[in-house]
């Protein structure tokens, strides 16, 4: 923990660590949802979907890393055991019980929309209180906005392809 780095935070640091741990749990669950979805996905345009889902899985793991680093900088512990991810998560986990591409894309779009709300809220909370976390949330938000659009355009292409046959 950096003492001065922690001292300049203009809000309750434990509360901030709590918010970051919620986002941290979200990122791991999102990582797994994408990673497993990429293994199971079936249907038209499957190969495009696998590429996109695997890229997003890697991005979510990178986000988990970024959030963990910030939690540790602030003197906190990232959620110590996977079974506690469910207690902390904002966005939950949608298991890929139906591997059809359309269903998987819709599940993941819903997850991205939740993530966008989470980082938007984190930016609002930290805007004046903690520019370091604000900047982190902004970087991640940029990725989540891109993820949502990637999946929605894939879904659009899928619908065009299916409807024009």
Q: Which among Mg ion, Fe ion, none contacts residue 60 (Cβ within 5 to 8 A by kind)?
A: Fe ion
148: contact with Fe ion by CB under 5 A: no
Nearest to Fe ion of 70, 147 (CB atom): 147
60 neighbors 121 (Cβ within 8 angstroms):
no
State the Cα–Cα distance between residues 36 and 1, nearest whole angstrom. Answer: 35
150: contact with Mg ion by CB under 5 A: yes
Stretch that binds Mg ion, among 16-24, 69-77, 82-90, 146-154 (CB under 5 A): 146-154
SS (H, E, C) 38-59: HHHCECCCHHHHHHHHHHHHHH
Neighbours of 142 (CB within 10 A): 11
What spatial distance separates the first Cα and last Cα of the chain, rounded to whole Å? 59
Nearest to Mg ion of 26, 150 (CB atom): 150
State the Cα–Cα distance between residues 60 and 28, nearest whole angstrom. Answer: 7
Site track for Mg ion across 21-50, x = CB under 5 A: ------------------------------
By CB under 5 A, the residues from 46 to 105 that bind Mg ion are: 55
- In the complex, minimum distance from the CB of residue 88 to Fe ion, in angstroms, rounded to a whole number: 15
Stretch that binds Mg ion, among 43-51, 107-115, 123-131, 148-156 (CB under 5 A): 148-156
By CB under 5 A, the residues from 36 to 65 that bind Fe ion are: 60, 63
Q: Please list the alpha-helical segments (H only) found in the chain.
A: 3-7, 13-40, 46-73, 85-88, 101-126, 131-163
Residues that bind Mg ion (CB under 5 A): 55, 150
Residues that bind Fe ion (CB under 5 A): 27, 60, 63, 144, 147
């Amino acid at each position: 923990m950096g003492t001065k780095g922690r001292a300049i935070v203009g809000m309750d640091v434990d509360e901030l660590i709590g918010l970051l741990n919620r986002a941290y749990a979200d990122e791991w669950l999102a990582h797994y949802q994408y990673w497993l979805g990429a293994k199971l996905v079936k249907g038209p345009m499957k190969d495009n979907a696998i590429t996109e889902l695997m890229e997003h899985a890697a991005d979510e793991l990178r986000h988990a890393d970024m959030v963990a680093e910030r939690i540790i900088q602030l003197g906190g512990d990232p959620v110590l055991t996977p079974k506690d991810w469910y207690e902390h998560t904002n966005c939950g986990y949608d298991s890929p019980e139906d591997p059809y591409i359309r269903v998987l894309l819709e599940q993941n779009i819903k997850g991205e929309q939740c993530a966008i709300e989470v980082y938007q809220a984190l930016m609002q909370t930290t805007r004046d209180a903690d520019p370091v976390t604000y900047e982190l949330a902004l970087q991640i938000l940029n990725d989540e906005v891109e993820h949502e659009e990637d999946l929605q355009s894939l879904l659009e292409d899928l619908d065009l392809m299916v409807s024009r046959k």
